[in-house]
Structure 1
Amino acid sequence: MSGDRHSIAETTVTLTDPDEIARREAENGLRQFSLALEIIRQHVKEPERPFRLRSSTILRLHQAALDGLHPLAGTWRNTPVKIGGSGHQPPEAAFVSEEVELMCDQVNDHWSDWSAVHLCAYVLWRLNWIHPFSDGNGRTARAVAYVVLSAKLDSLLPGAPTIPEQIATDKTPYYEALEAADQSLKESGQTDVSKLEEMLEGMLAQQLVNAAKEASGQADGCPPKTFH
């Protein structure tokens, strides 16, 4: 594995000016984060309605991230895609919708018996493994996984930087953990997201420790949050 894991698809992008792209990505990052919080709040407000991961939720979060940046914002890819810097080849476009539904079923079927961190790790890996979009797979996977984690913990998690922000700061451990899970599936046919779980546990602890510091006035102010 070398460099950054990024999508390489056949679909052309909507914008080409680097400054305009950067501005739109920043705006969309805030929009996606706000939408994720809205989804979490809705679950927390209505505890009598068990959380269910739906493909529509995933598409909404992708739409928020890629709006105005890509012609397929909010839709599954319809072309082959490769992951730069990775040895994994995602499934063909024809199978994307089915794979996403199977992932959602796994999460919903095991909502009661899987831990919050395991659910989060599984979604984070599996969405990256499916790579259902022509672009924006990583940021959307991190947003969905964070929603799942928060919903399972029944809380708008306090503290910053958030888990997605910590991942964005140094993606190397994240990429290595994804590759380890990919390799495990390839070699044994078994799902092993233990490295992702270990990473997420540490990041969750750091986020909550920072929340405690903020509450006691020890932490500095943090910039707006996104899932980049």
Structure 2
Amino acid sequence: MSNEALFQKIDRYAAVIRSRRPLSEAEVRELDAYYKIGTTYSSNALEGNSLTLSETKVLLEDGITVGGKPIRDCYEATGHAKAYDYMLSVARSGNPAVTEDVIRHLHFLFYHGIDPDAAGTYRTGQVFITGTTYVPPAAEDVPACMAALAAELPEKRAALHPVEFAAYAHRRLVDIHPFQDGNGRTARLLMNLLLIGQGYCVVSIPPVLRHEYITALQQAQRERNPSDEAFVKLIAECEIEAQRDYCRMFRIKLPDRDTPEQ
């Protein structure tokens, strides 16, 4: 299926979901907790965090750490949860403008428990991405690159489908790699901020798709014939799965022609 056809399906699903809103305050709280735990688990797992979904749930809900697990993994989970809450608050503020300060604060909240000095601070040295020939900008170019990204987002928002726009913002932030560590998780939080802000569902990339996720990013970053097509397609497919999950939880019937095969 083409990306354009995926966008059309996403918008059909979105129309059905929006017709069943608003949710009650209790439903919103339940949904927020569900997505925060699931997204925190999956985003960290993509980066090698060893906590399982159930361990992440116990840590975030009960504050109980799991014996034998690295303390850094626990800090990554609690930090991501704090950044997720901030992301929601910005996304729901009404047509949120994405500024450098917002992006840096997402990183600050996620990374503060790991390295307070580096949290929310642009890197001062060169970084390299394992498994790819792509080299991010030099550290001295990062501030200008981030300023350019923040400046171009309003124009991109107007020109692209919301899901493609969110995927683009994610990919560009990863391209710049502005922080010493935690760039992928910050990029996924930014992507979801943009999706939620425009009425779409939270995208969670399951760890089982890690290879496809990395490969799609590499295709967008290659020197010859770079293409966003595979990455946008992956994000669009994950959005559709999120919408189906939402409809399952609230017993919302999707259009018959779009009902997934059993």
TM-score by length of 2: 0.66
In 1, distance between residues paired with 2:118 and 2:87? 20
Q: Could you say which structure has the higher helix fraction? A: 2
Q: Which string of whole-angstrom CA distances, capped at 9 and with x for unpartnered residues, describes residues 175-199 of structure 1?
A: 011000011xx224xx631111111
Secondary structure of the 2:232 match is helix
In 1, distance between residues paired with 2:119 and 2:244? 36
Q: 1:167: Cα distance to partner? A: 4.2
- Number of residue pairs the alignment of both structures matches: 188
Q: 1:149: Cα distance to partner? A: 2.2
What amino acid is the match of 2:238? M
Q: Give the equivalent residue in structure 1 for 2:8.
A: none
Cα gap change, 1:76 to 1:213, in 2 (>3 Å): same
In 1, distance between residues paired with 2:136 and 2:127? 7
User: Tell me, which stretches of 5 or more residues in structure 2 are unaligned?
Assistant: 1-45, 49-67, 254-262
Residues 1:121 and 2:167 are matched in the alignment: yes
Moved runs in structure 1, 4+ residues, more than 3 A?
none
Q: Give the equivalent residue in structure 1 for 2:119.
A: 73
User: Tell me, which stretches of 5 or more residues in structure 1 are unaligned?
Assistant: 7-16, 44-49, 219-228
Q: 1:22: Cα distance to partner? A: 1.7
Q: Give the equivalent residue in structure 2 for 1:14.
A: none
In 1, distance between residues paired with 2:190 and 2:251? 30
Of the structure 1 ranges 54-63 and 98-107, higher mean CA displacement relative to structure 2 is found in 98-107
What amino acid is the match of 1:68? G
> What are the residue-to-residue correspondences of 1:44-83 with 2, within 5 Å?
50-70=95-115, 71-83=117-129
In 2, distance between residues paired with 1:196 and 1:124? 10
Secondary structure of the 1:171 match is helix
Q: 1:83: Cα distance to partner? A: 0.9
Of the structure 1 ranges 197-206 and 100-109, higher mean CA displacement relative to structure 2 is found in 100-109
Q: 1:169: Cα distance to partner? A: 4.7
What amino acid is the match of 2:77? A
Residues 1:205 and 2:256 are matched in the alignment: no
Secondary structure of the 1:73 match is coil
What is the identity percentage for the equivalent residue pairs of Structure 1 and Structure 2?
22
In 2, distance between residues paired with 1:178 and 1:77? 21
> What are the residue-to-residue correspondences of 1:89-104 with 2, within 5 Å?
89-104=135-150
Cα gap change, 1:62 to 1:96, in 2 (>3 Å): same
Larger radius of gyration: 2
> What are the residue-to-residue correspondences of 1:189-200 with 2, within 5 Å?
192-200=227-235
Question: CA RMSD, aligned part only?
Answer: 2.2
Q: Give the equivalent residue in structure 2 for 1:105.
A: 151
In 2, distance between residues paired with 1:5 and 1:88? 18
Q: 1:110: Cα distance to partner? A: 2.5
